[in-house]
């Protein structure tokens, strides 16, 4: 890669940082954010100014020691006391405001990304896209990745870890860079004035180099920066890979916990252990590569730092021993050289952090791009108002495909009027559940027009229950405070869950705590609680015994009839057929 390409990539990286950073400072919190940023900048400038004053104090104090002048010695100790106290106060508030800016920025950025991830079914579309080749989905422009685009993995890591790292590293590194630039500007003049000139002869000619110590600092740090870049360059890719592999390992651990009962019943512990070990081995192997490179970088940077401690004394020693400068000036030169060298060595000292920052920025940028694609996507299924005199479920020219391009339903016109309790029939794999997703407007590979009453609820095959109180799980996705205890208890009673009536305030992981049948009845209890006119049930009673299933279906049918709607079901059991008077039949090649 030539320098032009490297410069272009660096500009692209800075553009990514700018695009991720700017929205916060233009948000509804912009004045607070800008004020904190300005305060942090001022405090950094004040800290550098204090270092300049302390550098001058070094000269006077050490000259007093060399001259054994007690009056100046004690006077300078008093001066040092108030300079140190001011410096400590600046350091405390610089730390506090820097951390406050970081955490407020993180909070805003997390809420913004989290809101976008959870709006418009973006989280669902991104999960579908992870397992889909966009070239095989010809039906819609769904926001799925274009060829060559990478679908972000582990959104939980992006929202929790990467946002935190990005805000912390952006604030820390940018303020560190500002501090280095201001320190360099403040001390390079001091070092130039103190270092004197260096004269030498070459080929019979005499040459003089003014500000010799400044040039030596530039040379020393320039060589160090180049060597650091070549030693540490692999860290960027290794940091990116480490974050991904750690997230993959954590994700599979969570899945084992989520499906612990199924794994235990299947006696899948050994296989899961192998799968987890494979993922952890990837973490371990990459980490070994990472620390091997970090070892090389740490070795070089420590050598560089230790040599910098004695380098100015070696260069300035001849002038001191010749009597050209006193001990105070020698110490001032050493201190000024250290400040200039530290400022110039900012790249060396922060290379590992820069590599991590770049990897984090690239991960967040890809996540942001995927969110933008999903948020800008319009579903190909158009929700339309019902025709005059009709108040049921209707599709017009509805075509449904799989991601592979296989057509499940072609230009279908389906109707279910109030009172028409409809059973969706067909063999497994014919697309019944996919049709339900299309009716709900969440399936990307569908087009056509759908009329769906507002007063409708879907009962999925796998109901979701948030961890927490039973009343919160029952009221989901609405707030539990919207329902009285009597309403919640009656819903449980209607769903044939009398054993849970007195447990509304119990906190638990209900997905793990309840059996499959209890989970299905709790999902149906939600429906009784909210009393919708239309209910779309996808295998909602598959884990129940026949008498319980029949009792619940009878109650669901009666509830929807009284509300002026109907029940639309997917079920394979013939025992639910008597509760329906209308049928949609799907075949593997086409639905009618």
Lowest mean pLDDT among 64-78, 147-161, 246-260, 302-316: 147-161
> Average pLDDT for residues 46-75, to the nearest whole number?
84
Q: Among 3.40.50.720, 1.20.1560.10, 3.40.50.10890, 2.60.120.620, name the CATH number for the domain at 3-117+152-376.
A: 1.20.1560.10
pLDDT at 141 > cutoff 50: no
Q: Which residue, among 364, 360, 338, has the nearest Cα to 349 in the 3D structure? A: 338
463 CB contacts (<8 Å, ≥6 apart)?
A: 519, 520, 522, 523
- Residue 537's DSSP bridge partners are 459, 569
Give me the mean pLDDT over the 544-554 stretch: 93
Nearest-5° angle of CA 106, CA 112, CA 114? 95
What is the CATH code for 382-585?
Answer: 3.40.50.300
Residues 6+ away with beta carbon under 8 Å from 493: 501
pTM for the complete prediction?
A: 0.71
Overall average pLDDT of the 372-379 stretch: 70
Bin 419: left if φ > 0, else alpha if -120 < ψ < 50, else beta.
Answer: left
Q: Both ends of the chain: CA-CA distance in Å?
A: 59
Q: Is 390 helix (H, G, I), strand (E, B) or coil?
A: coil
Overall average pLDDT of the 255-279 stretch: 79
**Amino acid 144: pLDDT:** 41
Query: Does residue 474 have a pLDDT over 50?
Result: yes
Query: What local confidence, expressed as pLDDT, does residue 492 receive?
Result: 95
Handedness of CA 69, 74, 79, 80 (dihedral sign): positive
CA distance 570 to 541: 10
pLDDT top residue among 527 and 353: 527
Is residue 406 pLDDT above 90, yes or no? no
Task: State both tokens at 129.
Answer: 């896209």
SS3 of 579, please? helix
Q: What is the DSSP string of 285-314?
A: HHHHHHHHHHHHHHHHHHHHHHHHHHHHHH
**DSSP string covering 228-253:** HHHHHTTHHHHHHHHHHHHHHHHHHH
Model confidence pLDDT, tens digit, residues 166-179: 999 999 999 988 88
Given a cut of 80, whether residue 36 has pLDDT beyond it is yes
Distances (CA, A) of 358 to 63, 113, 224, 365, 480: 47, 19, 21, 10, 43
**Burial environment of residue 22 by CB neighbours within 10 A (0 to 12, 13 to 18, 19 or more):** exposed
pLDDT at 549 over 90: yes
Q: What is the pLDDT of residue 3?
A: 66
pLDDT for res 135:
39
Task: Tell how strand 446-451 and strand 393-401 pair up.
Answer: antiparallel
pLDDT higher for 84 or 254?
Answer: 84
Q: How many other CB atoms are there within 10 angstroms of residue 275's CB atom?
A: 14
- Whether residue 557 is predicted with pLDDT greater than 50 in this model: the reply is yes
Handedness of CA 146, 150, 156, 157 (dihedral sign): negative
pLDDT at 503 over 90: yes
pLDDT over 70 for what percent of the chain? 88
**E strand intervals along 322-476:** 381-383, 393-401, 407-412, 415-416, 422-425, 446-451, 456-459, 468-469
Question: What 3-state class would DSSP assign to 469?
Answer: strand
Cα separation, 67 vs 82, whole angstroms: 24
Burial class (CB in 10 A: 0-12, 13-18, 19+), 271: exposed
| Predicted local confidence at residue 96, as pLDDT | 93
Band (191; pLDDT cuts 50, 70, 90):
confident
d(CA 112, CA 259) in angstroms, rounded, equals 31
| 131 band by pLDDT with thresholds 50, 70 and 90 | low
- Look at residues 331, 336, 337, 318 and name the one whose alpha carbon lies nearest to residue 64: 331
Higher local confidence (pLDDT), 495 or 294 = 495
The strand pairing partners of 394, in sequence order, are 415, 451
**Residue with structure tokens 């040039």?**
215
Sequence spans of domains, the chain: 3-117+152-376, 382-585
Q: Is residue 579 scored above 90 in pLDDT?
A: yes
Looking at 94-223, which runs of residues are DSSP E strands? 197-202, 205-210
Q: Say what the pLDDT of residue 363 is.
A: 84
In whole numbers, what is the pLDDT of the chain averaged over residues? 82
- Between strands 566-570 and 534-538, the pairing is parallel
Most confident segment among 113-122, 131-140, 521-530: 521-530
The pLDDT value recorded for residue 142 is: 40
Beta bridge partners of 206: 201
Rounded to whole angstroms, the Cα distance separating 110 from 102 reads: 12
Three-state SS at 516: helix
Omega of the bond leading into 271 within 30 degrees of 0 (cis): no
pLDDT digits (tens, 9 = 90+) for 432-441: 888 998 898 8
Cα 291 to Cα 269: distance, rounded to the nearest angstrom? 32
* Residue 535 pLDDT level (bands cut at 50, 70, 90): very high
Give residue-wise pLDDT tens across range 42-56: 998 998 888 888 878
In whole angstroms, give the CA distance from residue 496 to residue 507. 21
Is residue 364 within 8 A of residue 166, CB to CB? The reply is: yes
């Amino acid at each position: 890669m030539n320098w032009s390409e490297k410069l272009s990539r660096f500009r692209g990286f800075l553009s990514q940082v700018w695009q991720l950073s700017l929205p916060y400072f233009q948000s509804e919190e912009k004045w607070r954010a800008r004020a904190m940023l300005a305060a942090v900048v001022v405090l950094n400038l004040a800290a550098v100014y204090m270092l300049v004053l302390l550098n001058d104090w070094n000269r006077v104090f050490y000259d007093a020691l060399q001259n054994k002048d007690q009056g100046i010695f004690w006077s300078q100790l008093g001066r040092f006391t108030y300079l140190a106290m001011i410096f400590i106060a600046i350091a405390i508030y610089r730390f506090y405001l820097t951390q406050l800016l970081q955490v407020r920025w993180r909070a805003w950025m997390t809420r913004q990304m989290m809101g976008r991830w959870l709006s418009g079914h973006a989280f669902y579309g991104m999960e579908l896209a992870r397992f889909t080749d966009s070239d095989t989905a010809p039906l819609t422009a769904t926001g799925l990745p274009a060829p060559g685009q990478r679908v972000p993995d582990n959104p939980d890591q992006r929202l929790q870890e990467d946002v935190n790292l990005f805000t912390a590293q952006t604030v820390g590194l940018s303020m560190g860079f500002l501090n280095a630039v201001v320190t360099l500007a403040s001390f390079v003049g001091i070092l130039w004035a103190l270092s004197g000139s260096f004269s030498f002869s070459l080929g019979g000619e005499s040459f003089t180099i003014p500000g010799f110590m400044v040039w030596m600092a530039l040379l020393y740090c320039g060589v160090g920066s180049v060597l650091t870049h070549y030693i540490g360059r692999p860290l960027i890719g290794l940091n990116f890979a480490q974050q991904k592999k750690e997230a993959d390992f954590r994700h599979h651990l969570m899945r084992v916990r989520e499906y612990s009962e199924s794994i235990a019943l299947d006696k899948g512990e050994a296989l899961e252990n192998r799968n987890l070990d494979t993922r952890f081995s990837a973490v371990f192997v990459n980490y070994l590569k990472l620390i091997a490179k970090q070892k090389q970088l740490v070795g070089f940077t420590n050598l560089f730092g230790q040599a910098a401690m004695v380098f100015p004394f070696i260069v300035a020693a001849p002038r001191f021993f010749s009597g050209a400068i006193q001990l105070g000036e020698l110490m001032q030169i050493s201190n000024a050289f250290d400040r200039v060298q530290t400022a110039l060595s900012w790249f060396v000292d922060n290379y590992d952090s820069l590599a991590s920052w770049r990897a984090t920025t690239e991960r967040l940028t890809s996540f942001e791009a995927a969110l933008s694609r999903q948020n800008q996507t319009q579903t190909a299924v158009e929700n339309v108002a019902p025709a005059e005199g009709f108040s049921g479920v209707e599709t017009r020219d509805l075509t449904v495909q799989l991601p592979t391009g296989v057509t499940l339903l072609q230009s279908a016109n389906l109707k279910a009027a109030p009172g028409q309790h409809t059973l969706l029939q067909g063999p497994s794999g014919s697309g019944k559940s996919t049709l339900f997703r299309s009716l709900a407007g969440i399936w990307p590979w569908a087009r056509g027009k759908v009329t769906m009453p507002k007063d409708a609820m879907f009962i999925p095959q796998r109901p979701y229950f948030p961890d927490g109180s039973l009343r919160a799980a029952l009221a989901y996705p609405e707030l539990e405070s919207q329902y009285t205890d009597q309403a919640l208890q009656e819903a449980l009673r209607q769903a044939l869950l009398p054993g849970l009536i007195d447990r509304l305030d119990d906190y638990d992981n209900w997905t793990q705590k309840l059996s499959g049948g209890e989970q299905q009845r709790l999902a149906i209890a939600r429906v009784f609680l909210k009393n919708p006119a239309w209910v779309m049930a996808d295998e909602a009673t598959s884990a129940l015994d026949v008498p319980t299933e029949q009792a619940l279906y009878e109650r669901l049918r009666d509830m929807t009839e009284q509300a002026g709607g109907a029940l639309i079901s997917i079920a394979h059991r013939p025992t639910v057929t008597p509760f329906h008077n209308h049928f949609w039949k799907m075949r593997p090649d086409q639905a009618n």
